[in-house]
Structure 1
Amino acid sequence: MNIATQIAAEALPKRAPSLETIGMTKIFGPLVALDDVSIKVESGSFHALLGENGAGKSTLVKCIMGFYNADKGSVILDGQEAEIKSPRDARDLGIGMVYQHFTLVPCLTAAENLVISRADAPAIIDWKAEKPKLEAFMDRMPFRVRLNEQVSSLSAGEKQKLEILKQLYLEQRFLILDEPTSVLTPGEADEVLGLLGEMARRGEVTVLMISHKFREVKAFCDSFTVLRRGRMTGSGDAQEASVEEMSRMMIGDTEIRERAERRKHNDAKAVLDLAGLSALDGEGRPVVKTLNLKVKAGEIVGIAGVSGNGQSALVEVLAGQRDLADGAISINGKPFEPKRADFDRFKVFGLPEEPLKNATVPRMSVAENIAFRSYDKPPISSLGWWMSPGPMRKKAEELIARYRVKTTSPDSPIEALSGGNVQRAVLARELSGDVDVLIVANPCFGLDFASVAEIRSQIMDQRNRGAAVLLVSEDLDEILELSDRVAVMSGGTIDYVSPIEDTDRNTIGQHMAGH
């Protein structure tokens, strides 16, 4: 190829490839993670891969990317069978993946992260030659990041954009996006997905997106495939299929609990009062800053925000896992300290994020974990110290049945349960008595549809009974669905609070972005 032809070829966008998997099967011991899965992603399409946790989505894309070698099946790229035995093979074929967790080097600049990602990255980089090329590349891209900025100083949204730009810089034309908007504000999510959709329509890229957000699937995808328990259960046009149809493909005949209607509470008093709360991280830097918020009886206040803006630290303060540097917590006008005695006295209960790590002892039994709030009270305890295993087991059996916890036995270690059933077991413990204050954090992250419906119904039930509910969630759809009022946390504090009927997704998103 002569120089003129080469320059002309480089100036033209590479054609977006099509990709198929034929009979993809992957077995791990007794587990059939993928069972004869065949999907087809057309050239230039924006395709959604749907399915609950454990449905096989991650296994499928790892087989496509070469992290796993399938036991049976093949990958067809642009009509030709592709031999992909490693991620390097996938990269050489133009298949790139943007993962849920960042793969950037925080101490390097955006420009340095791009250059070192190349297979031909030089040992000594000639920045005088590289910088103009990078600027020219950015000029062709649908969105930009600051090339000379250190990655550690970029916002979560900018980091996600840089991850996508890195794949385009490497000329990956089949992009796999794994939950790409989990760290983005609604505005950033719509911007990124919209611009990638435009690139797909122009035939510059093909996109396969793993997502659980039906709003984004309906807004940006043109086709979809659904996996359930390792098998493909449906596919179709994302614009024509309803959310109900896609949901049914995902869950099959699983019974979904219907949520009670929101009950009105007139002139309810403030129960939980957070006044000027401040907290520090391990290095003495503020992570919660002069935060003020009140939650009334019979009200759900949802705290929205991009991950890393102090929400986790706030929950840790309320749970007694992080010291309060300043401010005060009161319940019904009386001082509250996050200690066992006050949790019982004020009837404060909670469901922290990652409950297997933060709310249970994994190797202890389901019954023992359920008894954590009552082991020193009758009928489990007598004389203030003597524990009776019979009443403890009986109580656990009652709550396991009432909260539909799927376990082989109350004596099974709680770590043997699925994520959704760990959540149900903790809820059984926390909600089985009178509740005045309920604090929940990302209660449905990574759970199946049935568990999500059950847990959200339990939260609404407590609200209807008159509990003051503080819901901290990075899922804005969950906030919009459950909350009476929404508060936005940004930079460690709350500077926007609104009744849910007086706000909207865009307004909340602007405040999440700090505007």
Structure 2
Amino acid sequence: MTMNQAAPILSTGRAPSLEAIGMTKIFGPLVALDDVSINVPAGSFHALLGENGAGKSTLVKSIMGFYSADKGKVLLDGKEVSIKSPRDARANGIGMVYQQFTLVPCLTAAENLVISRADAPSVIDWKKEKKALAEFMEQMPFKVPLNAQVSSLSAGEKQKLEILKLLYLDQRFMILDEPTSVLTPGEADEMLGLLGDMAAKKEITVLMISHKFREVKAFCDGFTVLRRGKFTGSGDAQSSTVAEMSHMMIGDTTIRERAVRKQTNESREVLELASLFAQDIDGADVIHGLSLKINAGEIVGIAGVSGNGQSALVEALAGQRPLSDGAIRIHGQPFEPNRASYDKFKVFGLPEEPLKNATVPRMSVAENLAFRAFDKPPVTTLGWWMSPGPMRKRAEELIALYRVKTTSPDAPIETLSGGNVQRAVLARELSGDVDVLIVANPCFGLDFASVSEIRSQIMEQRNRGAAVLLVSEDLDEILELADRVAVMSGGTINYISRIEDTDRNVIGQHMAGH
């Protein structure tokens, strides 16, 4: 599109079909894709399913030209196309919306659209460009303020702008990588619904990577499943059951049955967060007057769109971010987030990204499992003498009890899979009496078996009487586990309710700040 050309006009019948045949990609000893094929008909809304490491990202990156497949070919509208780079993909009308935004925050929405063009002029005639953009926006199902700076837009508006950018560049085959992970439930349903309408009119074709079966069932017409780099099945998303899709994803892997929520009449207050305040490095409040109480035998889930202070709250409770005001109390007594107080008040936790935030990657599994007990008997005698024998014996017991898959207790913990790092940290944190458990996004990116195991462990601690604070960007996880839900927006809690007295839509409205 040149400066004098109008923006592309949406019309029916222009949606392309795409077929990838026999795609193979090898990285050293790892076969990331093994003869994988996928067929996405024109005008369809197709889901690409698979667990973490199944090969989904490798497949779409091969289609997009980020990787050069060792074998295989891509057909667009039945004709083979050569895609050696993302530029080739764009030239063929194939675009991708990534999990992380690719917008320039300091520029306006209009400026982001114009500079995305390969032929953007060095001197821009904004009068002509804005007229063309206004005509383009009139055809679009999404509305984003073109003159607003991107940094001022909500996460939902930024995601819409990413999709508008593909349409502006006339990229009618859209690959969406977990597109709703930063959206409220309302924003997610609106965006997917509008894209579904466009696909039904044959204006676009959509291939969506997702782990949310609810969205797949609600918006997709077909699906393809990968497992360990291989194609394991495909089908009609409407007629296939979630159980059938799950089996294609995990095979015959044994999944632990979820722990049953026990009824409790416990009303003993354990954890109190009293008007907490904390700042970022520029002195702006990231936690603003946050108050919350959690009883024994209760899980309170903190929901919210990413970036509303949830991470800062977890950091404050872990002693990684100082509070500027407010107080933390456990059993009515002041609590300071340090190692001595964690032991005294029986506070344990599983932070997000535990390999980075809760372990020393190059130390052994046994050493990492000993972090809470290395200075106590039987590991330590005489107050200072550490004995490797008892430490290793205890590690072997915890590895067996929590089913941590490792070649040896002496293996560096960084050699474990993500799910097994989570299990190892949980083994360490849940190996004693727990009064308070703080967990943050505990199942992000994990396989089904690990998700089931970890959620069961959290529920079991709740059933034993622990007060559990669950911070999660996965609303389904909160709805499954929590007794009450609290929504964070703008660094504070703006809504709290018992799970049985609310629903997804009400929670979503408060997540959006309404």
Asked whether the two chains share a fold, i.e. TM above 0.5, the reply is yes
Residue aligning to 2:120: 121
Matches within 5 A, 1:194-233: 194-233=193-232
Residue aligning to 2:152: 153
Say if 1:8 and 1:490 are closer, same or farther in 2 by CA, change over 3 A: closer
Residue aligning to 2:373: 374
- Alpha-carbon distance between aligned partners in 1 of 2:114 and 2:364, rounded to the nearest angstrom: 51
Residue aligning to 2:418: 419
Match of 2:144, SS? coil
CA shift, 1:260, in A, is: 1.8
Paired letter, 1:49: L
Matches within 5 A, 1:381-420: 381-420=380-419
Paired letter, 1:250: M
Does residue 313 of the first structure (1) align with residue 348 of the second (2)?
no
Paired letter, 2:155: A
Residue aligning to 1:361: 360
- Alpha-carbon distance between aligned partners in 1 of 2:70 and 2:103, rounded to the nearest angstrom: 32
Paired letter, 1:393: R
Residue aligning to 1:235: 234
Does residue 69 of the first structure (1) align with residue 63 of the second (2)?
no
- Alpha-carbon distance between aligned partners in 2 of 1:333 and 1:295, rounded to the nearest angstrom: 12
CA shift, 1:14, in A, is: 6.0
Does residue 440 of the first structure (1) align with residue 439 of the second (2)?
yes
Match of 1:193, SS? helix
Say if 1:10 and 1:160 are closer, same or farther in 2 by CA, change over 3 A: closer
Does residue 268 of the first structure (1) align with residue 267 of the second (2)?
yes
TM-score normalised by L of structure 2: 0.98
Paired letter, 2:275: G
2:287–2:312 CA contact under 8 A, matched in 1: yes
Moved over 6 A (4+): 6-9
Paired letter, 1:197: G
- Alpha-carbon distance between aligned partners in 2 of 1:12 and 1:442, rounded to the nearest angstrom: 42
- Alpha-carbon distance between aligned partners in 1 of 2:20 and 2:207, rounded to the nearest angstrom: 13
CA shift, 1:8, in A, is: 13
- Alpha-carbon distance between aligned partners in 1 of 2:80 and 2:491, rounded to the nearest angstrom: 51
Residue aligning to 2:80: 81
Match of 2:122, SS? coil
Match of 1:73, SS? strand
Paired letter, 1:322: R
Residue aligning to 1:499: 498
Does residue 25 of the first structure (1) align with residue 12 of the second (2)?
no
- Alpha-carbon distance between aligned partners in 1 of 2:201 and 2:497, rounded to the nearest angstrom: 41
Match of 1:39, SS? strand
Residues 129-184 of structure 1 show CA distances to partners (whole Å, capped at 9, x for unaligned) of: 00011111111111111100111111111111111110011000000000000000
Residue aligning to 1:176: 175
Match of 1:53, SS? coil
Residues 225-245 of structure 1 show CA distances to partners (whole Å, capped at 9, x for unaligned) of: 000000010100000011011
Residue aligning to 1:3: none
Residue aligning to 2:487: 488
- Alpha-carbon distance between aligned partners in 2 of 1:374 and 1:43, rounded to the nearest angstrom: 59
2:7–2:135 CA contact under 8 A, matched in 1: no
Say if 1:15 and 1:388 are closer, same or farther in 2 by CA, change over 3 A: same
1:298–1:463 CA contact under 8 A, matched in 2: yes
Paired letter, 2:209: I
Residues 362-408 of structure 1 show CA distances to partners (whole Å, capped at 9, x for unaligned) of: 11000000000000000001111111000000100100011011110
Percent of residue pairs bearing the same amino acid type? 80
Say if 1:260 and 1:418 are closer, same or farther in 2 by CA, change over 3 A: same
> RMSD of the alignment, in Å?
1.2
TM-score normalised by L of structure 1: 0.98
1:14–1:173 CA contact under 8 A, matched in 2: no
Match of 1:293, SS? strand
Say if 1:40 and 1:468 are closer, same or farther in 2 by CA, change over 3 A: same
- Alpha-carbon distance between aligned partners in 2 of 1:8 and 1:449, rounded to the nearest angstrom: 44
2:484–2:498 CA contact under 8 A, matched in 1: yes
- Alpha-carbon distance between aligned partners in 2 of 1:10 and 1:337, rounded to the nearest angstrom: 60
CA shift, 1:270, in A, is: 1.0
Say if 1:92 and 1:9 are closer, same or farther in 2 by CA, change over 3 A: closer
Paired letter, 1:203: K
- Alpha-carbon distance between aligned partners in 1 of 2:86 and 2:295, rounded to the nearest angstrom: 53
- Alpha-carbon distance between aligned partners in 1 of 2:123 and 2:449, rounded to the nearest angstrom: 54
Match of 1:372, SS? coil
1:351–1:441 CA contact under 8 A, matched in 2: yes
